[in-house]
């Protein structure tokens, strides 16, 4: 009987630790402090851990903007970020098993082959389970490379990509998408093996809003770009699957607040801003899942009460 009770207790403990929560990577302006996190049990209401977990050490300006995190199949969390507004021809990278203790920071020079590259913005990680590789996409401007509208030549972005299996060797950088306008802040969403969505920001003046495109693989080609489903002056989208719905969060930067919409098909969108709550000061990051043991470690590092559910 004692053995049975012990076994049941172990099952309960393991079940509690394995249950996943939502984590939202974050930074605060002016982005020189470092990596922050929010967490949520339902994907709607977010709590701020109010602690810097990794300070930026690489890049010309040594900032940490747009932190994107994905968990690999071995449980390792991989992080990439924008390391400078302009001048860098790559982005920052680090990894962690627990989101508290991080590897040495590395600079990944993905655009060094293009001497006139102005910037490397908002690298976004995606684990392509169909091909067992990581895909990294980002926005860069190469002046006079593409037709432009009202943008200056040093602000006419297109999306590029590289792939890797180990973050040691990377495939040659290639153009990811040229939708015919300046594009930044793109996020890949997998619905099934041959059905992918790309959530992106149309950075064209004067609109600057968020749209979606559709493709058969994680690498596209992404076509059928939609009309915008947000107002102007919105950016930094990220997507959380909650039940049968997708929640798309975005930064309404002129209003200094986070907005959200929900959808089941990426064709019709319902405003969810009144249902969601994102703490003030949070900026462009990505949502991913981690188990409660990871969250407990984050809370302990932040000096928070680990016995509270919220």
Which tens digits make up the pLDDT trace of 29-69?
Answer: 999 999 999 999 999 999 999 999 999 999 999 999 999 99
Q: Is the CATH number of domain 21-302 3.40.50.1360?
A: no
pLDDT band at 18 (very low <50, low <70, confident <90, very high): low
Q: Are 122 and 236 in contact (CB under 8 A)?
A: yes
Three-class SS of the chain = CHHHHHHHHHHHHHHHHHCEEEEEEECCCCCCCCEEEEEECCCCECEECCCCCECCCCCCCCCCEEEEEEECCCCCEEEEEECCCCCCCCEEEEEECCCCCECCCEEECCCCCCCCCCCCEEEEEEEECCCCEEEEEEEEECCCCCCCCCCCHHHCEEEEEEEECCCCCCCCCEEEECCCCCEEEEEEEEEECCEEEEEEEECCCCCCEEEEEEECCCCCCCECCCCCCCCCCEEEEEEEEECCEEEEEEEECCCCEEEEEEECCCCCCEECCCCCECCCCCCCCCEEEEEHHHHHHHHHHHCCCCCCCC
The tokens for 34 are 């470092």
pLDDT score of 189 = 98
How confident is residue 305, by pLDDT bands cut at 50, 70 and 90?
confident
> Which residue in the block uniquely carries the two structure tokens 């001048």?
87
Per-residue pLDDT band at 307 (split at 50, 70, 90)? confident
Q: Which residues contact 216 (CB under 8 A, 6 or more apart)?
A: 194, 195, 196
| pLDDT(6) > 50 | no
Domain ranges of the chain: 21-302
Is a pLDDT exceeding 90 seen at residue 301?
yes
Alpha-carbon distance of 294 to 100, in angstroms, equals 9
What is the band of 279 on the pLDDT scale with cuts at 50, 70, 90? Answer: very high
* pLDDT tens string 109-119: 999 999 999 99
* pTM of the predicted model as reported, rounded to 2 decimal places: 0.93
pLDDT tens-digit readout, 202-260: 999 988 999 999 999 999 999 999 999 999 999 999 999 999 999 999 999 999 999 99
Read off the pLDDT of residues 122-177 as tens digits, 9 standing for 90 and up: 999 999 999 999 999 999 999 999 999 999 999 999 999 999 999 999 999 999 99
> What is the rounded CA–CA span in Å between residue 213 and residue 178?
12
């Amino acid at each position: 009987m004692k053995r049975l009770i012990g076994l049941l207790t172990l099952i309960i403990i393991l079940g509690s630790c394995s249950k996943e929560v939502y984590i939202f990577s974050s930074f605060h302006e002016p982005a020189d402090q470092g990596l922050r996190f929010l967490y949520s049990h339902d994907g709607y209401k977010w709590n701020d851990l109010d602690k810097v977990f990794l300070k930026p050490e690489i890049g010309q300006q040594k900032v940490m903007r747009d932190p994107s995190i994905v968990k690999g199949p071995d449980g390792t969390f991989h992080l990439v970020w924008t390391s400078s507004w302009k001048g860098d021809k790559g982005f920052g990278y680090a990894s962690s098993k627990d989101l508290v203790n991080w590897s040495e920071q590395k600079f990944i020079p993905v655009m060094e082959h293009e001497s006139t590259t102005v910037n490397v913005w908002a690298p976004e990680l995606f684990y392509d389970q169909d091909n067992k590789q990581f895909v990294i996409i980002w926005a860069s401007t190469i002046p006079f490379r593409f037709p432009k509208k009202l943008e200056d030549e040093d602000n006419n972005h297109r999306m590029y990509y590289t792939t890797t299996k180990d973050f040691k060797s990377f495939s040659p950088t290639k153009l990811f998408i040229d939708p015919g306008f300046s594009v930044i802040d793109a996020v890949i969403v997998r619905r099934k093996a041959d059905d992918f969505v790309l959530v992106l920001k149309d950075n064209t003046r004067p609109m600057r809003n968020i749209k979606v495109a559709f493709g058969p693989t994680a690498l596209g080609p992404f076509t059928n770009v939609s009309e915008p489903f947000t107002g102007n002056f919105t950016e930094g989208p990220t997507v959380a699957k909650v039940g049968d719905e997708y929640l798309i969060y975005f930064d309404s930067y002129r209003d200094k607040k986070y907005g959200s919409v929900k959808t089941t098909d990426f064709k019709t969108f319902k405003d969810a801003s009144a249902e969601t709550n994102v703490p003030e000061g949070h900026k462009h990051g990505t949502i991913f899942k981690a188990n409660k043991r990871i969250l407990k470690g984050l809370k302990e590092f932040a000096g928070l009460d680990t016995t509270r559910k919220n």
